[in-house]
Amino acid sequence: MAKWLVAFASMTGNTEEIAELIVEGITQSGHDVDLKSVTDCNAADVLEYDGCMIGVYTWGDGELPDEFLDFYEELDELDLSGKRAAVFGSGDTSYEQFCKAVDLTAEKLQERGAEVSPETLKIEYSPLEQEKETCRDFGRRFVTAGEKVS
């Protein structure tokens, strides 16, 4: 069975909450998943998994957060060919570049050869009650994509 990583950067807890909900969805679908803060792992950890979901909040007007920069830059050293990936995050719609860090991260993963889901998950601040199931479903759909139906 495939093993998945959900790694995230979170300052206020918003992106961490999204990550936890995604992990709930993955475990509900019967898959193994590890949840890690990017401050407690490095990008090379991604290689130990069949795929990863990376969560990042957007700082300011479209910037990557400081605590995510090392992880992001370490991706340049990796060949992610054959790895599946998806990206999610939180942001603030009052900024012109809403959740731009999500887009930057997805682009970086693609550059490194990962098969990146065209779907990203972008949440303003923390998930509202009706968005919580959307987060769980995002995790479920990612890990079950491509599974053989018998």
pLDDT tens, residue by residue, 101-130: 999 999 999 999 999 999 999 999 999 999
pTM of the model: 0.95
Whether 150 is covered by a domain: the verdict is no
Whether 44 is covered by a domain: the verdict is yes
* Separation between Cα atoms, residue 53 and residue 73, nearest integer Å: 17
Q: Of 16, 51, 56, which Cα lies nearest the Cα of 33?
A: 51
Report the pLDDT value the prediction gives residue 51, as an integer from 0 to 100: 96
Whether 146 has a pLDDT exceeding 70, the answer reads: no
**36: domain CATH number?**
3.40.50.360
Strand runs labelled E in 38-94: 51-55, 84-91
pLDDT tens, residue by residue, 34-93: 999 999 999 999 999 999 999 999 998 899 999 999 999 999 999 999 999 999 999 999
Q: Which tokens go with 61?
A: 């007007």
